[in-house]
A and B are shown apart, each in its own frame.
Chain A
Amino acid sequence: MNRIVGYNKSVNDVDFTIKKGETVGLVGESGSGKTTLGRCIVRLYDSTAGSIKFNVNGKMTELTNLSTKEMKNIRKNFQMLFQDVYSSLDTRMKISKIVTEPLDIHNVGTKKDRIERAKELMIKVGLSENDLEKYPHQFSGGQRQRIGITRALSINPEFIICDEPVSALDVSVQAQILNLLVDLKNEFNLSYLFIAHDLSVVKYISDRIIVMYLGKILEIASSSDIYESPRHPYTEALLAAISKNKAGSKRDILLKGNIPDPSNPPSGCVLHPRCSYARDICKNISPELMPVKGKTNAFAACHLTNELNLKYFN
């Protein structure tokens, strides 16, 4: 699998970690490699190089070289939430079967225990016990995502990868699901990797944000720093693309053109063909992800980060 070229290098450089109970947002346009990164972590895809470590009972375990059997054991600790709530639930399975399947696979408890667990969780996510007897087509998009959440929680994971879980939902339902995810995180001390293309959603839920573009990490910072003082032109452009929520407003488009073909990324800085600040150095030399001066735990990969006065546009 050669999809995320260079991603692992970025990870080595910055110690990209997710702490227990932390939500890390992963943001970028389609084709940035967000989903691929998420799936590499749980080894749905195998990475070409690099290391992914996960804390299993206090011991950091390297995931990339585990056998399928060992991996299965460790997968109990992670779950995923998907964007498409229609294709991620099997239409021919009853809800009770869908939400207890992870328990079946990992052989947890008796059949009765599993159903008890499912009932308890269904109520927690705002559905009812009776819903266990229904089929997916009987539910709306928001309710289906709640079912997805129940399934993810059933095995009592520590870490959930949320891959655009709200982008297909109505704004009003988005709010319900986001609130639910925050509540569950606090209750069960979960960690999330929250993937989305909309910075306003990511910022709402995340403690820290990783900005990705064409398989590379361009900026990492706390969610308030990202918003108050972005240190990468790409982050600035993503901020400018958020709706201003005002009558008669217009969004600023700071990037030119489309995301390039990932199999043939540009030389130098991956953003330079679209970046309005680009200079000669950007065309030739790829910038490293470096700590931002005067900030802790903030990193940016831009030659000009200390010269540019990037600001938030809204």
Chain B
Amino acid sequence: MNTSENNILIDVRDLAVYFHIEQGTVRSVDGVSFSIDRGKSLGLVGESGCGKTITALSLLLLHPQPEGKIERGNIFFYPEEGNRIDITKLGINSKDIRQRRGNDISMIFQEPMMSLNPVHTIGQQLTETIRLHQKVDRNTAHKIATDALERVRISAPKRRMKEYPFQLSGGMRQRVMIAIALSCNPKLLIADEPTTALDVTIEAEILNLIQELKSELNMSMLMITHDLGVIGEVTDEVAVMYVGKVVERTSTRKLFKEPLHPYTKALFKSRPKIDSKERLSSIEGTVPNPYSQPKGCSFEPRCEVSMDICKNKSPELIDHGEHFVSCWKYNKEEI
């Protein structure tokens, strides 16, 4: 991506996370590269089981351990210009990484009910995060927490501070999660399917809120979703993932104008459109079994335009004018 070096916040290069379990090795993330500039957002899109969440978790060294291991690659994080940290080199419980978690890099999850502790009030959960990362007394933390709730447009924040998660609706809970995530002014917000469990009306509100806060705080964002509609609304760039690999990467605008990879095209076509009643074109089959992945292109068994070479050789991610795609259809000269 053609931006100046010092504007980059996080730069992931050839990241691979493998799981070594009884049944064999699962290559959940297998050579993923992307970077996010300060104040920009990247979308990570793909079906369940593509490795989106593992990629995100590994940025904070929170991937399941010890079975999951970062096999290779670097995660360069630039908390300030000129200061480069390779997250993969930090110990999983080291002070260095704990300083980053929640402070520089925050995360919100799909299921706000599971992520909030049911026996503590909203206020307790917010102040806990704040006091963990900032050296402030109880009263100041309480003040920061109330402001954080106000920032995510929760009405009567003082009263909400005393309430428990079950007293809030799904949309409210997700707002609380966002408030917690933003309470320490992170430089990067990782949002893992933040609206999948919500009603469409609430989804629209939460997405708009995230957008507003992102520009208010000049924060970068990694948005993980299986829904291209969400990608279109909140991201500047997109990486499409399929079975542990990025198969297409470009600006959101370009991707929506002309998706190149057959997988991306198929994802676009499988969404019901409100203005047409045409039969949906679904992607036949499912994501391949993680223990026995195809030899060639991993999408080949489900691809409508597959060729002989696709069965035998895995394509590389190649640049077609700031539009990276890994598909044999587009690098014919190499065949």
- Interface, chain A (partner B; CB < 8 A): 29-30, 140-143, 170-176, 178-179, 182, 197-201, 203-204, 227, 237-253, 255, 258-259, 314
Contacts and interface: CB of A to CB of B under 8 A. Distances in A.
Given A172-B270, A200-B274, A241 B200 contact: yes
B138 interface: no
Q: Which of A203, A227, A237, A238 has the most CB of B within 10 A?
A: A203
A248 B252 contact: yes
B229 A247 contact: no
B187 interface: no
B204 to A, nearest CB: 4
A245 B281 CA distance: 16
Contact of B272 (A30, A200, A250): A200
Give the 8 A-B CB pairs with smallest separation, nearest first.
A243-B229, A175-B282, A175-B270, A251-B204, A247-B256, A204-B272, A175-B280, A176-B282
Contacts of B172: 258
B293 interface: no
B332 interface: no
B152 interface: no
Contact of A198 (B200, B252, B277, B280): B200
Interface size for chain B: under 10, 10 to 19, 20 to 34, or 35 or more residues?
35 or more
A194 B294 CA distance: 38
Nearest to B231: A247
A174 B203 CA distance: 18
Interface of B: 47-49, 169-172, 199-205, 207-208, 211, 226-230, 232-233, 252-253, 255-257, 266-267, 269-275, 277, 279-284, 286-287
Contacts of A238: 200-201
B232 A170 contact: no
B227 A253 contact: no
B272 A243 contact: no
A74 B251 CA distance: 56
B48 A170 contact: yes
A170 B252 CA distance: 20
A243 B286 contact: no
Contacts of A251: 204, 207-208, 233
Contacts of A248: 232-233, 252-253
A272 B252 CA distance: 38
B47 A247 contact: no
B230 A243 contact: yes
Nearest to B204: A251
